[in-house]
Structure 1
Amino acid sequence: MPPVLLSRGLDPILGVFTGFLAFYLYETHPRNNVPADQRLAELVRWKWVKYQQKKQEEMRALDAAT
């Protein structure tokens, strides 16, 4: 069994937090110059709108069928 840094429950939380922090710093650092439309928040927002539109179309199809 590999050694634990803090505890078995806290190590995964620390790992996820570190990953999110590293990704945030990567996206916001001026050297990386990630375009605003290619950032994670914008991509998630686009995907959410796409999902909502698909869901509404399915609901309309179900309403039209009844």
Structure 2
Amino acid sequence: MPPPLLSRTLDPILGVFTGVLAYYLYETHPRTAMPDELRLKSLLRWKYTRWREERERKLLTTEDNIDWQAVAANAEKELEEQK
């Protein structure tokens, strides 16, 4: 294993910082001129909105299919058997 350049904890932090800075410069550089709808911020916002809508739809459509009367009757039956 090669020796660390600065320290064992500072090297990974420096690597993450360099990667984030490089991606930021890639997105904002005029030569690449990425459209706003393809930037990471707008893509993350779109993905979060889609996830939230699916979650709301799932929560609204999911109904309790549990027959509580049958559960209560079963519990009473088990209590009577234990006596």
TM-score by length of 1: 0.90
Q: Per-residue displacement from partner, 1:1-32 (whole Å, max 9, x unpaired)?
A: 11211111111111011000000001001011
For 2:52, the equivalent position in structure 1 comes to 52
* Aligned Cα root-mean-square deviation (Å): 0.8
List structure 1 segments (4+ residues) > 6 angstroms apart after TM superposition.
none
CA distance in 2, matches of 1:49, 1:36: 17
Q: Per-residue displacement from partner, 1:32-51 (whole Å, max 9, x unpaired)?
A: 11011100000000000011
SS of the aligned residue for 1:58 comes to helix
CA distance in 1, matches of 2:41, 2:34: 12
CA distance in 2, matches of 1:6, 1:55: 45
Task: Give matches, 1:22-37, under 5 Å.
Answer: 22-37=22-37
CA distance in 2, matches of 1:33, 1:3: 39
Any stretches of 5+ residues in structure 1 without a counterpart?
A: none
Larger Rg: 2
How many percent of aligned residue pairs carry the same amino acid? 53
TM-score by length of 2: 0.73
